[in-house]
Amino acid sequence: MSSRQYRKKIILWVFIAAMSLTAACGGGTAGTKTGGPSGTAAAGTEPVVLQNVSYDPTRELYADYNKAFAAYWQGKTGQSVTVKQSHGGSGKQARSVIDGLQADVVTLALAYDIDAIQQAGLIKEGWQTRLKDNSAPYYSTIVFLVRKGNPKGIRDWNDLVQPGVQVITPNPKTSGGARWNYLAAWGYALAASGGDEEQAKEWLRGLYGNVPVLDSGARGATTTFVERGIGDVLISWENEAFLAANELGKDEFEIVVPTVSILAEPPVAVVDGTVDKRGTRKVAEAYLEYLYTEEGQEIAAKHYYRPRLEKVAAEYGQRFPQVKLLTIHDQFGGWAQAHKKHFADGALFDEIYRR
Amino acid sequence: MAGSHSYPGTTSPPARGTARKLAPRAGCTTESPLARRLLIAVALGFIGLVLLLPLAAVFVQAFKRGADVYFAALTEPDALAAIRLTLFTALIVVPLNTIFGIAAAWCLTKFAFRGKQWLITLIDLPFAVSPVIAGFLFILLFGAHGWFGSWLAAHDVQIVFALPGIVLATLFVTFPFVARELIPLMQSQGTLEEEAAATLGAKGWKMFRHITLPNIKWGLLYGIVICNARAMGEFGAVSVVSGHIRGETNTLPLHVEILYNEYQFSAAFAAASLLVAVALLTLTAKQWLERKRL
C-alpha cells in the first residue's frame, strides 16, 4: 500500500514538473505575442513589428535586408523595427493573405498573385504603378543549370528538346517559377518558328516530353535536380541557379544562359487593408522604398537578384550576363491574358502536357 | 500489481504459459529450418530497412557537421520559438482532450441512451478526415472570408494564422485519442462496481475518484501519452492554419520542413531529432504502460 502511494506521489511530481516547465516556456511565447502583429503601433518611437509575406527563395535576401532596414529606420526616426518573415509557394502565400494572414507588405514571385490579393479588396487598384519599375525593385531571369562539364552540350533552348535529354522544371499549374520557365520557352519557340503557334506548340510538346517529373514548386525541382541527381538540365530562376551552383555543390554544376529568356519581375506591394488597420503604413512604405536605394540594391545583387540601379548593376555586371529578355507585358499582354491562354484549365499547357 | 482490480463473476483470461505448453514441440510450421530462417531474415531485414535505418539516418545527418552545429541549430531563436510554441500548444491541447476524453468515455460507457453508437462514430471523425481538410475547415470558419471572418475582423480577433488557430487545429486532430483509448477499456469493465458504490451511497465525484479513475488510470495515461505525441508531431492541419511566420507561428514539424527546403540539412535533422526523441520517449512510456495495464 505504501509503495503504491509513493509511486503515485512520484507520478504526480513528474507531472507537475513537466507542466511548470512547459508553462514557463509558454509564458515566453505569450510575452512576445503582445508585440506581434496583433498590437497596433503608431509611427513614433514605439517599437514596431512588420510582417513581410514572401515566396520561397527570398529568405536569405530578406534576412539580410531586414537588418539593414532596421538600422536605417532606427537612425532616421529613432524607432526600432522588427520584420517577421513568412515564406512559401507564391500562390499559397497570396491565398493565406486573402484568408486573413496579417501581412503589412507582400513580396511575391508574380504580379498575378498580388492581383489576386487586390481582387479580394486588400490592396488598392493600380498598386503596380505606385513604385518604380512595375513595383519590382530587382528582377531575375530564367537560365539553365547543367551538370559539371556540360556533358550533354546544352547551349540554348533547342538543345532541351533533343532525344535523351532529361529536363527538370516544376508544374506551371502550381509554381510561379514554372510559369516563367514555360513562358520563356514559349517565347523562344514562337520566335524560332516565326510566330507560328502550331509549330511552337509542337516544340513545347517535345520539351515537356523530356520532363520526367513535374515538381509542385521551384524548390522541389531544385532538390530533385541537385539532391536526387535526376535530370541533365534544370530550368530555373537565375538566383536559384546561383544558389545551387555556389552553395550546394561547388564545382558540381554550371550555369548556361540561353540566347533569349524572360524578364522575371517579382513585385512588392504594401497591403493597404492591414497597414491602415495597424497604423503601419509609413514604415511599411519606407520598407519597400528602401529596396530601391543603393544599399537595398547591393543586398539584392549579393543574393543573385539583378539590381535596377545602374551603379550597382555595373558593379555586378560580371555576374549577370546580358540576355535578350522578353517581357510579360509586350509578349503576352500581361498576366491575366497569359493565364487565360496558357495555364487555365483546358488551356495550352493542358493541351501540350496531355500525351 | 497495481491496478489489478478484479471481482468475482468475470471470467479471467487463461493464465499465461498454458497456451505455450500445448504447442507441439517441433514448432507449429512444417517448413524446413532453412525456409524458416530465410523468412525470419527477410522480416528482420525489412524492419531494419524500413524502421531502424531511417531512424538512425536522422541522427547521423543531425550530427554530420558536429555537435557544435547541432546545438547551434537548436538554440537559434527561430528554433527556440518553434520548440516553445510546440510545447505550449501541447500544454493546452492535451489537458483539454484528456478532460473531454474522460467525460465522453464515462458518458458513453456508463449510461445507455439513444444515438450512443452515433456519438461513438462521430468521435472518430478526426481519424477519418485528412488533417489537411481539418485545417481548411478552420480557414473556412475563421478565415477573413469565412463564416465568422467579418465578425472576428470587426472585433480585431485573429484566429487562423495565429496561436488560437494552431491550438484549434491540433485539438481537432488529437480529439479522439484519449476517448478511443478509454471507451473499450471502460466498456469491458462494465458498471458493476459503480452500481455497488451507488448502493453504498457514493455520489458522482466520489464514485469517479475512488472507483472509475483507479480502474482506468493506466489506460488514461496511455491515451495522454499518445495524444501528446500526436499533438507535438502534427503537420498537415497546422501547416494550413499556421501562416508560417518565423519565430511566431512555426511549430517544430513546420520548422523542420522549412529548414530542409532551405538546404540547411544538418539544422533540419537536428530539429527532427527532437521529434524523434519525443517519439522514442513515447514508445518507452507506451511499453511501460502497456505492461502496467495488463
Q: At a CB cut-off of 8 Å and minimum separation 6, what does B21 contact?
A: none
Contact B153 A100 (CB under 8 A): yes
Put simply, whether the predicted model's pTM sits higher than 0.80 gets the answer: no
Inform me whether the pLDDT recorded for B28 exceeds 70.
no
Question: What Cα–Cα distance (Å) separates residue B87 from each residue in A224, A338, B239, B274, B284?
Answer: 33, 46, 16, 12, 19
ipTM: 0.70
**Among all residues of chain B, which has the CA nearest to that of A15?**
B221
Across the range A311-320, mean pLDDT stands at: 89
In this predicted structure, the answer to whether residue B177 has a pLDDT above a threshold of 70 is yes
Highest mean pLDDT among A221-230, A277-286, A344-353: A277-286
Contacts of B81 in chain A (CB under 8 A): 29, 32
C-beta atoms of A86 and B258 within 8 A: no
Question: Does residue A92 surpass a pLDDT of 60?
Answer: yes
| pLDDT, averaged across chain A | 85
Query: Measured between CA atoms, how close is A106 to chain B, in angstroms?
Result: 13
Q: What proportion of chain B, given as a percentage, has pLDDT over 70?
A: 89
Name the minimum distance, in Å, from the CA of B81 to any CA of chain A.
Answer: 7
* Three-state DSSP state, A219: helix
More confident residue, B65 or B174: B174
Mean per-residue pLDDT for B100-118?
Answer: 90
pLDDT band at A294 (very low <50, low <70, confident <90, very high): very high
Give the residue from B74, B76, B87, B89 with the most A CB atoms within 10 Å of its CB, the best one to mutate.
B87
Q: Locate cell 514539424: which residue?
A: B253
Reading the block at residue A102, the C-alpha cell is 496579417
Residue B204 C-alpha cell reads as: 458522482
Q: How far apart are CA A208 and CA A128, in angstroms?
A: 32
Interface A-B, measured as beta-carbon pairs within 8 A, has a size of 85
B140 neighbors B146 (Cβ within 8 angstroms): yes
Predicted local confidence at residue B14, as pLDDT: 47
Q: Taking CB atoms and an 8 Å cutoff, what residues of chain A touch B285?
A: none
**In a 3-state reduction of DSSP, which class is residue B166?**
helix
A99/B156 touch (CB, cutoff 8 Å), yes or no: no
How large a percentage of chain A has pLDDT more than 70? 87
How far apart, in whole angstroms, are the C-alpha atoms of residue B133 and residue B137?
6
Evaluate whether B216 touches B184 at the Cβ level (below 8 Å): no
The widest CA-to-CA distance across chain A, in whole angstroms, is 93
Candidate from B91, B149, B246 with C-beta closest to A100: B149
- pLDDT at res. A94: 92
Computed over every residue of chain B, the mean pLDDT equals 86
Residues A152-211: pLDDT tens digits?
999 999 999 999 999 999 988 877 788 889 999 999 999 888 888 899 999 999 999 999
- Per-residue confidence (pLDDT) for residue A3, from 0 to 100: 56
pLDDT tens digits for range A20-57: 544 444 433 333 333 334 344 444 578 999 999 998 88
Collapsing DSSP to helix, strand or coil, A112 comes out as: helix
Q: Which of B84, B160, B258 sits opposite A99 (nearest CB)?
A: B160
The three cell numbers locating residue A210: 523530356
Question: Shortest CA distance to A91 belongs to which of A180, A174, A169?
Answer: A174
Task: Give the pLDDT score at A166.
Answer: 94
Cα separation, B169 vs B163, whole angstroms: 10
Residue at B5: amino acid letter: H
Asked if A222 contacts A240 with a C-beta cutoff of 8 angstroms, the reply is yes
